[in-house]
Every structure is written in structure tokens, then in C-alpha cells.
Amino acid sequence: MLHAHDVEMICGARHGDPFAVLGPHAAAAGRTSVRCFLPGARSVAVASAKGVLLGPLVQQDETGFFEGEVALLPGTAYRLQVEWSDGHSASIEDPYRFPLVLAEMDVWLLGEGTHLRPYEVLGARPSVMDGVAGTRFAVWAPNASRVSVVGDFNFWDGRCHPMRCRRECGVWELFLPGVQAGAKYKFEIRSQSGEVLPARADPYALQAELRPATASVVAQLQPFVPPSADRKHANALDAPISIYEVHLGSWRRKEGNQWLDWDELGDSLVAYAVEMGFTHLELLPISEHPFDGSWGYQPVGMYAPTARFGDPAGFARFVAHCHAKGVGLILDWVPAHFPTDAHGLGNFDGTHLYEYADPREGFHNDWNTLIYNLGRTEVSNFLVGNSLYWLERFGVDGLRVDAVASMLYRDYSRKAGEWIPNVHGGRENLETIAFLKRMNEVVGTERSQAITLAEESTAFPSVSRPTYAGGLGFHYKWNMGWMHDTLAYMERDPIYRKHHQGEISFSLVYAFTENFVLPISHDEVVHGKGSLLNKMPGDRWQQFANLRAFLGYMYAHPGKKLLFMGCEFAQDREWNHDQSLDWHLLEHAPHAGIQCLVRDLNTLYKATPALYQLDFVPAGFEWLEHNDTEHSVLSFVRRGLDKRSFIVAVCNFTPNVWNGYRLGVPQPGTYHERLNTDSAHYGGSNVGTPLATATADDTAWHGQAHSVVLNLPPLATVFLEWKA
């Protein structure tokens, strides 16, 4: 019979090796000792898989521990016939008769931190073992003394289902027969000191409850989405990429201020993106997060699409709908930090498992969040696997990595003495750099059609250069310098702009050092910064005209484009995540004009290779004049692969009309106006060159052998296309 100490440890949920006690154990020849712990059971008997009664078990402890020998060959399936204290009877499978959950190769790769798809074996995965349907549970908690699965299937009782520890990799595992998709669960963990920690949500959960509830939900893994040559072409460096950035909870709401679900968003949001001519949607983080006000940037469930809009299958349908309509989908992705919520990753197994132990390395003072210890291979693997999960299992086109600057530098937003140098005494976070390189290499190898984009606000070199060339391996980098300088210029009264011409032109000094995206993101229209419209100076007409000129300049400038929702129709107020955008503004002509302009800019952009094919090489750009400070005029040429076709962009950042403005041009011939942001169609004054064409003469100007004479409209950008 079992030692009383083992019985006591099982009944008290303190035993670290339950399979050494529970389940079948060899006894005399042809017999097996069966032990089980079933709180609330009155009697237990063992039956064969076909229901033949083999014998009763003896209750050894009043809390529900039973033991006995039966005529059963080792390895033979059996069931437990249970009579519960409430009088009900049931025939159940014994979880402790089933074999190991993790295969040896998975154990090896998890321990090594090189498992490309750890989500396939960790977490809760519905499966069949020995012909029995149930769910495999596995969680990494190497420093725990005991881990149990708790859920709505066992009254959240940590005594019922303690797990087996695979010491080779620190993973606890258990197969629970009968537990199916939809079951709610967590992991109850006892630390080495004996403390029972608050129940943890599953780091690898594929689904979660809607906040404020915090349980994980058993869910099927989404099927693999095959690679697509079309999507690879649409995401390429020489493709037109115009991104509409969206916070799903506040883009548009339905009656009662309720969120749209995935299918409703598929019908409305995707259709709107198509109508407006955007090539991609970018969603603020949709990984499960407990607090709406974090906008998703403090995620707890990295593998779970938020329950706010439906289940994971709904999100998969949304992605498929995007692609069916020719729209790419990019997700904001947050490997920089995570919140301190008790059900999350912090102090996960009673130790600083996912985060650095020292707050000088492991805590963000700006956001009150914890920082991943990316020097730990299992943590790095958790995130690298997560990047591949979204790309392969949902088919999303790319990941925009948030707060990269905060990851790269150990002294980010820290004073002297508040940070720890790296092993060489420097400020760079070498572990993060290695992680980002590996993540980008894995994505490039396993999902070559996908792209990664870095929100990186410093001068860290070669962010969007290949790792083999010494770069971080991102495909694109957000051009925060362009955003800052250009908005600073646009916010100035036009009378003073001539003194700050360098702000609007400086971005071309470094424009080809990275593969840049020009971002006008959510960060520019919150926290007292005002809306994009209200950044513009002047009376109401001039505000709209300035905004139109700015948008035209943005689409003419080298780099892919990103515009936050609401900016495309000049929302008046700051963005508020708790309510819908102000769609009623489109009843007013100036706002409708801005929307029409953005639609036409996207149309022109996609139809004009000169505006996108050579975004990242100097051959795609040529200044005509950037020193005309007296008129606050900028003019330049954009070229594509076909050198005989090019676009001339001219920007007048004053409210004055410059009649008879002579502009040097590269070729003789006729220049046709393709778009004028001052058109009455957009709410402008309709000033422009007569007949919207200009013929070059032989007058040398601006360093060019030919020139044209234009009437430049006030506060406007004009696109001219050359034809021989």
C-alpha cells in the first residue's frame, strides 16, 4: 500500500510527481495497483474498457483518495466507475493512465529554445490519445513545486488534476479526457516556497474570456494558411503600400455603443478600405489584453485574438475576407513589455521567469510594465513562435513591432544609475538585438511573403537591412523623424515657414538609409496633441487647405504610407478609444473633400509606378528646388523603373497664389496636371495652370535645361506627369 505521506501530499495538492502516485502501477503478476484522488466521491471501482467490473478501490483518505489491486495487465485501458456523494454515478477515464504528452523531440527543442512552433505542443490542444478525445495541457514553469490544471470541468480545484513535470525542459503536462473546445481553464501553481500563486492564464492559450473575466479557453488550432504569391507581390519593396491604421473598438460602433464583431468588420471595414483605395489595414494589437485603455499595447494573451470581437475562427474569416478583397493585413505586435496583472506572466512560477529579475532591466517606468528577459532562450522562443503563429495560422501579411527603441537600449527613458550596462559596458541590449534578428530570420525563412515593420525612433543603424549585412532584418522602418519634422513645419504659421524650410526638406538627407514607412499614426492624435486637422494653422479654410497640401506632400514623398483612421476625413477632435469616429462630419463639404482627396491620392499612387517602385533608392528621387524659402515652395521628381515616365510634385506652403512660377524640369515636352489638392472637388479654390497643362521651353532653370511656367495654387500640392 502507498505510504501515508504520499497520500497526504496528494490530498493537500503538494505533490510534485503525481504520476508516481496516481494511476496504474505494476503489482503482483497479472495485477495492477490503481490509485485515484476524486474529491466528493463516495466509492470507486475499476472496470475494463468494455465495462466489465474488475473490482472496487478502497478509500484511504476521507477527502477522496482511493487505492486497490485489480486483475489488469500493465498498460491495459480501464475506466473508473464512480458514485458521487450526491448520489450520481459516472464512468470516467483516469487521466493518470495515459502516456507522456510531449514527444522527445519536442522536449529537446523546447529545452534548447529552438522550437519554431512551440504553440503546437504547449498550451491546451484538443486531441485524441489511445482513442479517447480530450485536451493535452502543457505549460512551462520550471521552478514550480506543483502545477495543476483548474477549470470549469473540475470546480477550479487545484487538488484534482496535478500535472507531470518533464524536468528536461521544465514543462508540466497532462492529458484530460473529455475536456473539449470551449472549456475554461487556468494553471494553479505552487512555488518552491510553498505559496499557491494566483491562478495563471495560459501563456499559449488560443482563446480567452472577455474582460473582466480572465480564464483561458480551450480552442482548436487554426489550420495552416498556404503561402500566396499574390500576397508576396503585394508586400514587396517595389509595391504600392498605403496602410490604414485602425483601432477596431472605435473605428465604428453599432447601436448601444457596442463593438462590431469580426464578420461585421469584414463587411464594413474591409469594404471601406477598398473604397478608399488603401492597400493594407494595420490593426492596433488584437492579442488579448485586460484593459481597454491600453489600446492592446499591454497584452496578456499573446496567442489569443481578443474576445472583444468574437472567437479565433471569426478572426480567421476576417483575414480571409481582407485577402479576398485584395487588402493586406498587418498586426501591431508587442514583444517589448507586458502588464503586471496577477493572472499574467509576471512572477509566473514564483520566480521572475518571463521578465528580468532586476527592475533596472525588467520594469518600464513609463508604462508600469514588465520587460521580457530575451536572454532566456525559452522566452525568446515564446515570442519568435508567436510571430510565426499569426503569419502561418491566420495568414496575416505582416507584424509591426511596437516600441523597438525601448527594446534596443538598456538606458531607454532611464536616468544614470537606473540601468545596467551590457557585458561590454555599453547601453545596447544585446539580447534584444539577437532576438530581433532571429525573429526576422525565422519569418524570412518560414514565411517569405510576410513583412515586419519596426517602430524605431532613434538612429540605430540598419534596422531595415538584412541580418547577413549587419542589420536587424526588418523589411520596413517607421520614419519618425519625417513625421516629427514635417508636422512641426506644418504647425507653423505660413508667414514663418520660410525660416524653417529645412524642417520640411531634411528627411531627404537620410531618406534612403532605411526602407521607410511615413507614419501618421494614432500616437499623433492623442494625449493632448489634437487632431491632425487642428494641428494646422490659420482660419478654417486654411486649416483644411494646409491639411490637403500636407497629404499631397506625404503621398509624393519617397516611402510607403500610413494614415490613422479619422485622419482621412479630417476628424476634428482627438481620437477617443471609447467611442466611434465622428462619421457625421462627412455631411459637411470640407470633411467630405478631404476624404475624396485621400481616395484620389490612393488611386493616383497605386496607378503610378513612379510614386512607389523606387522608394528606397536615390534613383527614384531628384530635387528640382528645395531652397525657395521666399515662396515656401518645394519641387521634386519621382521616378520608377521606366525612366521615361516620371512625376513632378510641387508644393506651395503659403496661402499666396504664385502666378507665372517658373520651374526647372528634366525633359522637354508637355506636363499634365494629374492631381491638384486645391481643386474645388476637394474644397479648394480651384487655382491652377490654365488647361491643367504646361509645355516646357528651353529656358534653363533650377539647374535644368528646360522649364515650365505654372500658376501655383495656395496651400497646395500639385502632381504633374510628363509626356513627350
Active-site residue, 402 included:
yes
What are the DSSP calls for 112-129, one per residue? Answer: HT--S-GGGTSEEEEEEE
Cell 506543483 sits at which residue?
Answer: 146
Residue 417 per-residue DSSP state: T
Query: What's the rounded Cα separation, in Å, for the pair 206 and 332?
Result: 18
Kindly state the cell numbers that stand for 269.
Answer: 471595414
Considering 202, 455, 568, 615, which one is annotated as catalytic? Answer: 455
At residue 720, the 3 state secondary structure works out as: strand
Q: Is the dihedral of CA 492, 544, 554, 608 positive or negative?
A: negative
Is the CB of residue 631 less than 8 Å from the CB of residue 644?
no
Distance CA 127, CA 104 (A): 18
Give, as one character, the DSSP assignment of residue 505: H
Q: Which of 282, 397, 402, 485 is catalytic?
A: 402
338 with 372: CB under 8 angstroms? yes
Give Cα separations from 163 to 118, 193, 353 (angstroms). Answer: 19, 18, 19
For residues 149 and 163, the answer to whether their CB atoms sit within 8 Å is yes
Whether the Cβ atoms of residue 596 and residue 684 lie closer than 8 Å to each other: no
The contacts of residue 258 (CB under 8 Å, 6+ apart) are: none
The helix or strand, by DSSP H or E, that contains position 323, with its residue range, turns out to be: helix 312-324
DSSP 154: T
Cis amide prior to 18 (ω within 30 degrees): no
What are residue 573's phi and psi, to 5 degrees? -95, 165
Angle at 52 between CA 51 and CA 55, to 5 degrees: 115
Using a 10 angstrom Cβ sphere, with 0-12 exposed, 13-18 middle and 19 or more buried, the burial of residue 484 is: middle
For this structure, is 106 an active site residue?
no
Side by side, the strands of the sheet bearing 78-84 are 23-26, 32-37, 65-70, 53-61, 41-48, 78-84, 89-92
With beta carbons less than 8 A apart as the criterion, state whether 166 and 172 touch. Answer: yes
Residues taking part in catalysis: 402, 455
